[in-house]
Structure formats: structure tokens, C-alpha cells
Amino acid sequence: MYLKRLEMQGFKSFVDKTVLDFNKGITAVVGPNGSGKSNISDAVKWVLGEQSPKTLRGSRMEDVIFAGTESRKPVGMAEVSLIMDNEDRLLNIDFSEVKITRRLYRSGDSEYLINNAQCRMKDIHLLFADTGIGKDGYSLIGQGRVDEILNSKSEERRNIFEDASGIMKYRMRKQESERKLNLTEQNLLRVNDIVSELQHQLKPLEKQAETAKKYLDYKYELRDIEVGVLVDGIDFAEEKLNKIRNDIEILNSDKENAEKLLDDIKKENTDKTEKAKILSDLINAAKEKIYTSEKKIEKLKSEIGINKEKIKSTAENKNRLISEKEQQKQKSGVYDIRIGEMKQEISVLRETLQTHQNDTKKLQEEYNTDLKASEEIRQEAASVSEVVLDLKLRQGKAQSTAESYQKQIEMIAARKVGIDEELSVLESNSEIAAGEIEAAEKERLEIEEKLEDTKQFYKNKTEALETARINESREAERASKISAALQSNAARLKAIRELEEDYEGYAFSVKKILSLCKSNLDFGKGICGAVAQIIRVSAEYETAVETALGQSYQNIITETEDDAKKAIEYLKKGRYGRATFLPLTAVNGRRFDPETNRILEQAEGFLGIASDIVEFDKKYQKVVDSLLGRIAVFDQLDHALRCASKNRYAFMCVTLEGDILRTSGAITGGSTEKGRASAGTLSRTREIPELEKSVSENKMLFAAMTKNIEDYRVSIKGIEIEREALLKDVRSLEIEFSQWTAKCTAMKDKQAGETARRGKLVDELKIQVNHMLEARNAIEKSEEEQKQLAEELLQAEENVRLTEIRRAHSEKLLEEANQKLIRQKVKEADLRAALQKAGEDLQRYELALSEGTEHMEYYDSQIRDCETAIQQIESYNEENDIAIAKISDEKQSDEEDLTKYEEMKRRLDEDLGGMLGKITEINEQITCFTDGLNKAEIKKVREESEINSNKNRLWEEYELAYSAAKELTGGKRTENYVEASKRIKELKALIKGLGAVNVNAVEEYENTKERYTFMYAQRQDMNEAKAKLQRVISDLNAVMRQQFTQQFKLIRENFKEVFRELFGGGKADIVLDETQDVLECGIEIQVQPPGKKLQNMLLLSGGERALTAIALLFGILKMHPSPFCLLDEIEAALDDANVYRLSDYLDKIKSDMQFIMITHRKGTMENACSLYGVTMEEKGISKVISLKMNS
């Protein structure tokens, strides 16, 4: 695998799309400072996932998008693509070529793609894991990377070794597992809270669910019985309805026979009417034909006059065409003469042009000879200039070497001063450290005590939170019951109001009157309402009063007899049925006499007079007395019988259970149907205000409970916040305690380290003095070399001056030959233009001659057409004269037909008059049949109304259609209506006894139980997952320790070998800090350049340190080669000798690895297989040019 191509667009200074193709071997990227060559290195880091703007030499990530220049606008997106050859399938993806793309928009949105398919940045990291390729991998080596190895702490050097040893993917998995473990522990805490809460909810819900099941069982049984009764009522009404329909069919048959006879007469009438119409049409047609004939004769005479004018106009046009034809003939003769002249002129111009073309060819040959001589002199000048440039580069190199050694001397002197100062500081720090360690130990003990107190506070808050949650749950349970009662009463109130508004339970005629009063206020004046609407009775007496009233509950009360009469007329007119009216001005109430009152008051079980136990407006006193004033109410049948028989049934008695003792001695009793219409109408008047009061009270109670629950929840939230704050304090104190413990240990370690440091500094001071002497000797050698190069440079510059004089003379001769050639080409171009113009004129005259010939032919054709037209028009006039004679004959025939048709129509009109009497007679018979049908339809409507009423009750009370209700009963009829009514009453009592029922409790209980089971299982799964993650982390640690130890040994041996090769000898080693875990310990680098003692990296010169770091990186690459390696000015700190040594090493290993080097050093460029130059032709915009180097 290797890097094939890099594509950039809108990235930093590369605004236009830029493509860099890379081959195997070494590719060098060069360019002056500020040209943007290091932006190529930034682009590779960025596309591989670099997230730090600082690493990319910016302050924000948006800085990588081209920001614009004075001449170019900013762009909205930066895009970089990296194309890898994956034929060997080193990357775990089934493609021979892999394209990694990253885009960033100014909006902040970004995209990552693998082979143009969107992915996550994590996917790219995983794809390149353990290949050495990545933003932190060892395949991207820059000056900053070298400095990081040199200057970072030993612990911070681990990343590059971990990547090389192939444990990065394990560390990433470990980090992911630790993140999942932390998330699992947090989720486990939440799940435990939820399981605890669900346990509290299950018991009250189970009790509610049992009640709801009983309620539903009763409700379904009640539904089955009531639906059966309603379905039977519908079936009985259907039987009546079928008989009415048969009567309607007979009437329809008689009516159809009469209508058929009427249709036959009407058909005969229609036929004769049609014949009369046809005769009328024939009469009109004859008149129209006569009129048309007159118009045609007039039109033909007009056409004859017009044609005579056309003959005159065509003759004049013919004479004009003959004149124009003669004129065109004269023009064609002139064009023929001009064509001959133009052909002769073109022949002369062609001969002149041939002569000038021969002259031009000779001058071109002379110019080419001068150009070749000038080019040879120019090449000679370039060769001499290269010699001068090479001498200047060598002179600069020598000067740079001297300056490098001088800087080294200055650095050594500065380092010596630094060592002296550091030794002084270390002496002072040693005395201070003892006091700081004692103070830190004291602070650690105080924090430990504070931590124990905070843990106790946290425990107390946890107990308070549990108590608050229990209180909130209890209040929520009470609120749920109140809410169920509120919903039940509100639904009941709504249903009763709808029944009251629809006048449910009243006869059809009464409904019509009451409905019209509501919609028509004028009609409603004087109508007070039904009896059931104006009285109010308590629930205890409802059965007794409704029994006493019977059907009188729907009698309509009016102000006067006229009001009653008006309503009766309305019922008659609309055929809506009958109703009883009670005018206040006519009704006289009757009550018991004082003696009877005395007897009743002494009777056992007597509760009162029926008119006294109901409430009403005093204006209705007479009406109520007339209905209820002479009816006694008793508590039970025995007491009523005893009193009635004792007084010889002198008055009517009713009991609370609905038994009736009439004055005739008749006794009516048994079970009563509580849902009966009269009971419903009376109870509605009572229930509506009671339910309104209950709903209002429940709303207030529910609001108060809701507020209490909210207060509990606020309290719980407050306790949770305090508890969370205490938990944070505990964790904060634990961290602080750990920090102080670590700080005490670190301070002690630091004290021991500073003691060791003082000894090392003394040794380093001696070494720095020796380095200073070596640098001064090197400066003297460099100054001698500079003097020799200056003498050689003077001689080379003189050679350049002489060559330049010869080049100027050659270019002057070349310019003179070029001017002659240009003048000759201008003359030749003029002749070509004249020749072209003459040719164009010739074509124009030839075209005009051709068009003249065509015009002559056109004139001949038009003259012939005029002669033909005159002949045709004269022929048309002759034909028109013949047509006029023919049309006159037809007109006379049509006038004779008209007279005949008018006589036939007169006789037919007389026959049509006799049929009208028969049609009138049959229409009267049909009217009689129609009246009979209307009466039958009224009966039909009544039965259908009864059916619809029962079906509506089925739907309103049970949401059942008749077919579904029939299916529910299984087609069986109710056998005993008395028993059915008794069971309905029992079931309603049982349902009422259950009180407020939460019908959703069964589902809520099942859902809560299911959720509890699910959450309990989730808790088990999470505990298992937690244990599994802990095992995975332990296994990953073991694998990483083993693999890191093995790979580190290989890197160590490679580093030693590469160090010796780059330094030409010496020793080097990398050592693990054995006091720590192998996965966390630091890594120390020890080196001994040739001829020097083993020493720390900090004591080496800048070049030695840089070369050491490079040796370490190449040691890693040798053990674990990366597909490609990007080196960004890593040789900047090296002198020329070391640059060439590095180049030789790269040349040796380039067959095994692809290198891309960003450089400005000559030694590196000379070794490259291909070269890219980065320039800025336009300010702020980088351009790339490529060059293939000879091997």
C-alpha cells in the first residue's frame, strides 16, 4: 500500500483544486518561506482527523478555509482528499483504492467520507489503527514532532511507542469499554430508582384493577340484558312496519294503474301534438325555402356584377407585368458585361500573390538561421550563471556553518549561566521543601475529616428523599380516585344534558312542540313546558311520583287556552300526532278535604300528599294539584292497603316502590323499569344540578390534591438537588483528598529528585566547556574556506559578463531579420484580401444574373395566369344566368306545398281539444290514491321513529349498531321481561355500590407490572454487562502489556542500529521506568555520540538532539513500516554533513517505504525521485509545479 494522490480545494492558500500525484520512492516539496508548502503537511494531518486548530497553525478550525485576498473572494468550504493504493488489502476494506475525504463549511458543519460514502471520524481512525497513519501516528513527522520527542516528559513520549507497538486499537477499545462501563453504572443508578418507584405503585394499582374488573363484569352483563330488551323492541316495531309497507304497496299498485291509463292518453295526445308540430315545421320550412330562393337569386345577380369588375382589374395587372419584364431584361445585359471584367482582374492578382509568397519563404529561412545561433549563445550564458550560483551557495553554506557554531558557543555560554542559576535555586528550594511537606500533610488530614462529615449528610438526605416519595405516591393515589369520579360525573352530566336537549323520553308530538318553542321564540310565547320540566323531586320519591303521574309527566302547560289551541293546530297541520295541554287559565286543582287529611296523617306509613313532596313554582300550583293533589304517598304496600281498605278506597295511594291502589280497588304492582322514560325525565331535573355541584367540588378537590402533589414533587426535587450537591461535594472531597495525598508524595519525590539534579548539573557544566573549545576551532576552518570561494567567484562573474555581450549582439541581428519577415507577410496579407474581395464581387454579379433569369420566367407565368383568370370569370357569369332560371322554378313549387300543409294542421288542432277532459278526470283519481299513501307513510314514520329511538339508545349508551347488537344477543329474545328488569336494577345498584372506578386501572396495572418486570430484567442485564466490561478491560490490559513489551524490545534494538548508522558510531538506548506499570510508565532516551560520554539528551547540541530523535523515529519505522512517511523540514536543525548522511540513509530504505519530504535543503533535494515546487504567483494563493528527476 502507498499514497497515490493528494487533492486539495479551498484549504488554506490552495483555493483552486490542486492535485499532487505521488510515486514510490522519495518525493520532495520545495518552495520559499511563506509560499504555503507546509500547508500540504497540514492538509494531510487535517484529512486524517486533526481537531486542534493550534496544531494546524490557526486559532479556529474555520481558519483552514481560504479567507480571500485583495483579488479573490473567500470560499465557503475546504476539502481535502487522500487516495491510497490498497491492492495488498492492508486496510481492512474491500477496495483496491481507498479515498479519504474531509470537508468543512463556514457554517461549522463538517463531513467525513470513505470512498465518497459518509462516515464518522472514528471510522477513519479505526481504518488506519496500528498502520502508523494518523494525526498522532509516526508516519507524519515534522519539526514539531521532533521537538515533542526531545522536550516532552518521559511519560508523554508513550503515544508514539504505543502506536508503533500496535496497541492503539486495544487502548481505543479499552477507553470505549471504560466509557461504556461508566455509562452502565450511571444507568444502573437510574434503573434502581425506577424499580423502587414501580414497587411502590404496584400495590394500590392491583387493588384498583380488581375493582375495575368487577365493574366491567357488571357493566357487560347489564349491557347484554338492556341490549336484548332494546333489540326485541326494534323487532316488534319492524313487524308492524312490514304490515304498513304491504298496505303502501297495494295503494301504489292502484295509483300506478291510474297513472298508466293517464300515460296512454297523454301518449296519444303527445303523438298528435308531435304531428301538429311536424306540420308546423313543414310550414316553416316551406316559408324558409321560398325566402332562401329569393336570397339566392339576389346573390347570383350580385356575383355577376362583381365578376365583371374582376375581368377589368386582371387585364390592367397583365399590362403592368409585360412592362416590368422588359425592364428586367435590360439589367441582365449589364451584369453579363461586369462578370467578364472581374474574371480578368482576379487572374492578375493571383500571379502577383505567387511572387510575394516566394520572397516570404526566403526571409523565413534567414530568420531561422539567426534564431538557432542566438539560442546557442543563450545556453552558454545559462551554464556560466549556474557556476556562479553554485559558488554562491557554497559560500553561503560555509558562512552558515560558521554562524551555526557561533550560535552554539552562545547557547553553551547561556546554558552555563543557567546551570549556575539553577544550582543556586536548588539549594534554596531544599530548605523550603521540608516546611511545605509538613503543611501539606496537615491539610490532607483536615480534608479527610471533612469528607466523613459530608458522607453522613448525604445519607440523611437519602432517607428524607425516600419519605417524601412515599407521601407523594399516596397523594397521587387519592388524586387518581378523585379524577376517576370527576370523569365519571362529567360524562354522566354531559349525557343527561344531551338527553334533556333532545327531549329524550317524550312522545314525538311533545318533542316537536318543545323543539319548536326553543327555535321559534314567537311560537314559544305562552308555552311553559312539560310537567316533568317544571317539577323537582328528590331521589327518594322519584318512583312514587312518576308512578302517580303516569303519562301525565309529558303534558304541556300553557298560559291560556289560545296558546294550547295554537299548538294543537301545529300538530294537526304537520300530522305530528296528539298531545295533552294544561292551560293555567282553565285547569282547576283539587286537594283532599280537611277530614281526609286528618285520617291520612294518623295512618301508619303515610309520607305525605304527592303534590306536597315535589318542588315547583307557585304559579303552577293548580296544575300540580290537578295531577297530584289527591294522591297519598305511603312507605310500603301493606300500610297503603290497610289505610285504603279502612276508608273504602276513597282516594288513590302510591308507595315508594311504585305500587298503586286506585279508587276502583284495582292494585298495580311488581318490579319497575327504572330506565323508563318518565323516570328519566324526572331524574334529569334533579340530577343535573346535583352533578354540576359534584363536578365543581371534585374539580376543586382535584386541583388542591394536584397542588399538594406538585408541592411534594418540588420538595423531592429540592432534596434531590441538595442530595446531588452533597454527592458532588463527596466526590470533590475524595478527589481533593487524593490530590493532596498525591501532592505530598510528589513533594517528597521532588525533594529527592532535586538532590540528584544538583549532581547532574555539575557534570554537565564540565562538558559544556569542552564543546565551546571544539566550536571555536570549527569557526576558524570555515573562515579560510570562505576566502578561497570569494576568489573563484570573481573569475566566474567576469566570464558571465563577456558571454552576456555576445548574447546581446546575437539578439539584435535576430530582431532585424524578424522585422523584414513581418513586413513581407503584411504585403502578402494585403494581396490575399484584394483577391478575396474580387472573388466576392464576382459571386455577387453572377448571383444577380441568375436572379434576373428567374424573374423573367416569373413574369411569363403571371401573364399566362391573368389570361386564364379572365376566361374563367366569363364562364362563371354564364353559369349564374342558368342558375337564376332554375331557382325561380323551385320557388313556385314551394309556394304550392305551403298552402297544402296549412289546411292539414287546422284539422289536427280540433282533435287535440277533445282529449283535455279525459286527462282531468284521471288526475282526480290519482289524487285520492296519493292521500291514502300519505296517511300510511305517517304510520310508517311513527314506527321507524320508534325503531330509530331504540337504535339511537343502542348507539348512545353502548356504541352498538343494530346488526352488532343482534349478533351480540345471538338472535334470542328475552323470555321474562320482569326478571330482566329486576336484574338490571340489581346490576345498577352493584355498580353504584363500587363507587368511583378507574376503568383504566387494569391496563395501568398490567403496564406498570410489565414495566417493572422489564426494568428488573434490565437491571440484571446491566449488572451482567458491568461484570463483562470489567473482564474485557482486564483482558485488554493483559494483551497490551504483553504486546507492548515484545514490540518495545524490537524498537530498542532498531534504535541502536539506526543511531550507529546515522552518527557513524556511538551508542544509544531507550529505557522503561520500571517503578510504574508498563502501560503507564515513562520512557527515557540515553545516547552516546562517537567520541563522547554517555549522557542525557538535554546535554547534546541542537543538531545531535534532532538527529537522535530522527534515529528513534526511523527505528520505529524499521520495525513497523508505515505505507508512507511525510517528513516536514525535520532536517532544519542539521548541518550539511548530517543532511547528506540522512539523505544517504533515506536512499537506502526508499525501496521499502514511500517518503514525502517538505524541505529547503539542497542535500535532500538532490536525493529526490520527483520534485514539487510551491510558488505564489498571485499573492496569498499557492500554485504547484512538478518535476520528474533523472535517476
Query: pLDDT tens, 587-597?
Result: 888 888 888 88
The number of folded domains in the chain is: 1
1191 domain-assigned: yes
pLDDT at site 153: 60
474-492 mean pLDDT: 81
The long-range contacts involving 751-758, CB below 8 angstroms and separated by at least 24 positions, are 751/430, 751/433, 751/434, 751/437, 754/426, 754/429, 754/430, 754/433, 755/430, 757/422, 757/426, 758/423, 758/426, 758/427
Interior/surface letters 1076-1114, b for 16+ CB within 10 angstroms, e for the rest: eeebebbbebebbbeebeebebebbbbbbbbbbbbbbbb
| Strand pairing category for 18-21 and 1170-1178 | unpaired
Q: Quick check: is 457 in a domain?
A: no
Share of the chain above pLDDT 90, in %: 10
User: What's the pLDDT band for 447 if we cut at 50, 70, 90?
Assistant: confident
- Rounded mean pLDDT, 7-15: 93
pLDDT of residue 368: 79
Write out the DSSP string of 812-869: HHHHHHHHHHHHHHHHHHHHHHHHHHHHHHHHHHHHHHHHHHHHHHHHHHHHHHHHHH
Q: Which three cell numbers stand for residue 396?
A: 553561503
Instruction: Quote the pLDDT of residue 820.
Output: 77
Q: Is 663 helix (H, G, I), strand (E, B) or coil?
A: coil
Query: Residue 1009: inside a domain, yes or no?
Result: no
Strands 2-9 and 18-21: antiparallel
Give the per-residue pLDDT at 920.
75
Q: What is the pLDDT of residue 1098?
A: 64
Whether pLDDT at 676 is above 60:
no
Instruction: Give the mean model confidence (pLDDT) for residues 27-33.
Output: 89
CA-closest candidate to residue 725, choices 451, 454, 446 = 454
- The pLDDT assigned to 137 comes to 66
Q: What value does the mean pLDDT take over residues 559-566?
A: 90
Q: Comparing 133-147, 330-344, 532-546, 1152-1166, which segment has the lowest mean pLDDT?
A: 133-147
**How confident is residue 946, by pLDDT bands cut at 50, 70 and 90?**
confident
What integer pLDDT is reported at residue 13 of this predicted model? Answer: 92
807-847 per-position pLDDT tens digit: 777 777 777 777 777 777 777 777 777 778 878 777 877 78
- Specify whether the CB–CB gap between 46 and 140 falls below 8 A: no
Record the cell numbers describing residue 929, joined without a space.
290514491
Q: Which stretches of 986-1088 are assigned E, i.e. beta strand?
A: 1067-1072, 1083-1088
Confidence of residue 100 (pLDDT cuts 50, 70, 90): very high
Number of H helices, E strands in the chain: 20, 23
| Helix, strand, coil in percent for the chain, rounding step 5 | 75, 10, 15
**What is the pLDDT averaged over residues 344-358?**
79
* Region 593-622 average pLDDT: 90
Distance (Å, whole) CA 1065 – CA 975: 119
In a domain, 1129, yes or no: yes
- Whether residue 26 is contained in a domain is answered as yes
The CATH number of whichever domain residue 1130 belongs to comes to: 3.40.50.300
Q: Is residue 46 part of a domain?
A: yes
**What is the average pLDDT across 887-902?**
76
The stretch 1141-1147 carries a mean pLDDT of: 85
Higher pLDDT, 15 or 147: 15
Q: pLDDT at position 854, please? A: 77
* pLDDT for the residue 677: 39
pTM of the model: 0.37
**What's the pLDDT score for residue 632?**
94
- Find the domain containing 98 and state its range: 1-139+1124-1191
Burial, 304: exposed, middle or buried (Cβ in 10 Å; 0-12, 13-18, 19+)? middle
Per-residue confidence (pLDDT) for residue 21, from 0 to 100? 92
Q: In this model, does residue 679 exceed pLDDT 50?
A: no
Does residue 378 form part of some domain? no
Bridge partners of 1154, per DSSP, are 1124
Please check the confidence at residue 1010 and state whether its pLDDT lies above 90: no
**Assigned domain for 470 exists:** no
Q: Specify the pairing of strand 581-583 against strand 556-558.
A: parallel
